[in-house]
Amino acid sequence: MRLESCVASFFLLLTLSDAAVTSRILNRLTAGSNYLTTQQLWFNQTLDHFSPYDHRQFAQRYYEFLDHFQLPNGPIFLKICGESACNGISNDYISVLAKKFGAAVVSLEHRYYGKSSPFNSLTTENLKYLSSKQALFDLAVFRQYYQESLNAKLNRSNVENPWFVFGISYPGALSAWFRLKFPHLTCGSLASSAVVLAVYNFTEFDQQIGVSAGPECKAALQEVNQLVEQKLTMNGQALKALFAAAELKIDADFLYFLADAAVIAFQYGNPDTLCSPLIQAKKNGADLVDAYATFVKDYFLGSFGISVQTYNQQHLKSTALNDDSSDRLWWFQVCTEVAYFQVAPSNDSIRSSKVDTRYHLDLCKNVFGEGIYPDVDGTNIYYGGTKIAGSKIIFTNGSQDPWRHASKQTSSTEMPSYIVTCHNCGHGTDLRGCPQAPLSPEGDAKNCSSPEAVHKVRQQIIDHIDLWLSQCQALGRSSM
């Protein structure tokens, strides 16, 4: 659960995922004007937490929002940033929760992304310290640093505020894993659309798009794919130009690009933007490829702000550190840790069958060189996958989100899991509202097809946070 900026309305990684992980955009969005704060702060982070001999450090960016903080003993909400530049603390539902609980909100930029890169060149060798394991230690070290800094400002020592951790998508997985690996440092965590299961061949992703689309839209998308594959063999360059994607020389990159365009409509709560014109075009006997091209150019590349180069392997091979580095960085994590290869199912697929396992493995080799392979089994053994043996972790998912099949969807007393069910409930609905892009201030749910479904899950979240913070405070601890 991968990563990217759009001047118009959002930041893009996700990044995707808001990107991740990915549709190459697991979790890549944050509303440009909807921040609680954008004031940058810095501290020195350890480069390699697993070496007792390497003492190198790098500057890591973070933010704090204290408007609702009830000094001196109020809770501290740690909002995890993920596979994109972290340009501030976005004004989603966490701001409502902070006000309700009198909490400070702090947010740490993920190592390597944005302005928190240890190196000026992103060669494969230099990326060896980019992993979820290193990122979790970053969060632990930062949490200790911030608590000690707060104590110093308040002229006190050995005092622990109660902490609670939040994340959406890949940061949602980090939130769950942080509570799993560092239970003494937080009272609990909210893991929204948390992709905790590394998946090698993620066929369920495409299958969920079919379910979310419904029979008519699904049939139209499948017909588009068939027509595109036919046209690609006859005049590929003209077809790619129709979609404003002529730079994608590798046909499978182009087909992945087209598949992701459909994904975004369902992942981020705008299904009708895609399905209504396609269904209407089919009923009218209009050219479905033209109708889909209009959607891709107007929405995917236009208002949503995706760059075609995100899908260009030549771009991904660039080792230069710049504003577009997130694409290469997230693919490194995909190619080494989590895979999430969104391959076409053998039957009834929406995406092209050419988007297969070999395509992904060839991409990893082409972009990063020999010997790069996703250690999916190792990742799931280390964290537990959907069998994660944690406690005081809330899992939430949107019913239409394809990423929910890499999350924990079964509930238990110690780890409750909730599905927010509605027509446009996608990635991170519990914190982002509807649609999930562009971001609704304070995660407003009024545009969800069933606001009550969102409110019901949010009340459950509030109840759990209230209980777990109270238990911490009763023991005078920051965790339990």
Beta carbons within 8 Å of 340's beta carbon, 6+ residues apart:
1, 2, 20, 21, 22, 26, 195, 198, 199, 202, 205, 334, 406
Annotation says 169 is catalytic: yes
Residue 439 DSSP symbol: P
Q: What is the residue type of 130?
A: L
Q: Where are the alpha helices (DSSP H) in 321-370?
A: 326-333, 357-368
Going by the DSSP 8-state scheme, the letter that residue 50 receives in this structure is T
Q: Are 427 and 267 in contact (CB under 8 A)?
A: yes
Q: Which of 110, 315, 360, 427 is catalytic?
A: 427
Which residue in 95, 117, 169, 175 is the catalytic one?
A: 169
Rounded to whole angstroms, how far apart are CA atoms 434 and 425? 7
Residue 408 tokens read as 């924990």
Counting Cβ atoms within 10 Å, is residue 113 exposed (0-12), middle (13-18) or buried (19+)?
A: buried
Dig out the tokens for 34 from the structure.
Answer: 């909807």
| CA dist., res. 39 & res. 193, Å (int) | 27
Six-digit token pair at 249?
């020389």
Candidate list 131, 401, 407, 478, residue with the active-site label = 401
Concerning whether 427 is annotated as a catalytic residue, the answer is yes
CA 19 to chain centre: 4
Active-site residues, by number, are 169, 401, 427
